[in-house]
Amino acid sequence: MPSENELAAARSHVGGAHVRLDPIAKTIGFDQPGVELDLGGIAKGYAVDRVAGLLRQQQIDAALISAGGSTIYGLGAPPGAGGWEVKLQDPIDPRKVAFAIELKDRALSVAGSSEKAFEAGGVTYSHIMDPRTGRPVQGVLSVAVLASSGTAGDALDNAFFVLGPERSRAYLNRLHDTEAIFFVPDASRGWLVVRERAGE
């Protein structure tokens, strides 16, 4: 685990305030060395949306588009069905299914720690970091976001993972047609589901 000084140094490079956009030159820069942009948290959703757009241009009515399983878009529905059935993985045991969700003209984006985590001192830590502390997020196992686009879902799943169910609720209330499904640890059952919907 990094020291407090190492965490403080890392936090000093975090945040949108370090990014310098020049719309005339169409460039992106940073206000200090050591700052980087990682589009991994949104690129898959954007790619899925682009594919959905291309399929619509070709007048394809039904398709299930997946970017490695973390972002999926259900375009239309398969013949004879109301939507595409997508199974959400158990956040603790990846061999199991937690439950299924139906997608129709909607995206599902998932952020979780089941496949990328590490253990130190008997504690399992997520790979998703809280930018305020520089430490891995605790108290959430995974978050699934249902949204109108893969880009929106991909942008929100990690943010909601960091915020947790309670603090995500206020943000969700400002969104349209968006739902977050939180898997949180539970001592007796392993995990519990907390669902938050826009406007509720």
Q: Taking the mean position of all CA atoms in its chain, how far away is CA 98?
A: 17
Q: Into how many domains does the chain fold?
A: 2
For residues 87 and 17, membership in a common domain is answered with no
What is the model's pTM? Answer: 0.88
Q: Which residues contact 28 (CB under 8 A, 6 or more apart)?
A: 19, 20, 21, 22, 37
For residues 102 and 63, membership in a common domain is answered with yes
For residues 124 and 51, membership in a common domain is answered with yes
Phi (first) and psi of residue 69, to 5 degrees: 90, -20
pLDDT in tens, 133-166: 888 898 899 999 999 999 999 999 999 999 999 9
Q: How far is Cα 122 from Cα 108, in angstroms, rounded to an integer?
A: 32
For residues 67 and 154, membership in a common domain is answered with yes
For residues 184 and 113, membership in a common domain is answered with yes
For residues 15 and 50, membership in a common domain is answered with no
For residues 24 and 119, membership in a common domain is answered with no
pLDDT in tens, 43-88: 999 999 999 999 999 999 999 999 888 899 999 999 999 999 999 9
The answer to whether 160 and 54 are in contact (CB under 8 A) is no
Model pLDDT, residue 114: 66
The structure tokens listed for 19 are 């990014």
For residues 76 and 110, membership in a common domain is answered with yes
Position 91 confidence tier, pLDDT thresholds 50, 70, 90: very high
Q: Give the residue from 5, 6, 7, 2 showing the smallest Cα distance to 132.
A: 7
Residue 54 identity: L
For residues 77 and 119, membership in a common domain is answered with yes
Position 185 confidence tier, pLDDT thresholds 50, 70, 90: very high
For residues 11 and 87, membership in a common domain is answered with no
Q: How far is Cα 45 from Cα 174, in angstroms, rounded to an integer?
A: 21
Domain that holds residue 115: 38-197
Q: What is the CATH number of the domain that holds 56?
A: 3.10.520.10
The structure tokens listed for 186 are 């539970």
Mean pLDDT of the chain: 91
The answer to whether 143 and 181 are in contact (CB under 8 A) is yes
Q: Which residues contact 49 (CB under 8 A, 6 or more apart)?
A: 73, 107, 149, 150, 151
For residues 42 and 101, membership in a common domain is answered with yes
Q: Which alpha helices (H) appear in 110-149, and where do they start and end?
A: none
Residue 97 identity: V
For residues 165 and 85, membership in a common domain is answered with yes
Q: How far is Cα 93 from Cα 100, in angstroms, rounded to an integer?
A: 16
pLDDT in tens, 26-49: 999 999 998 998 887 789 999 999
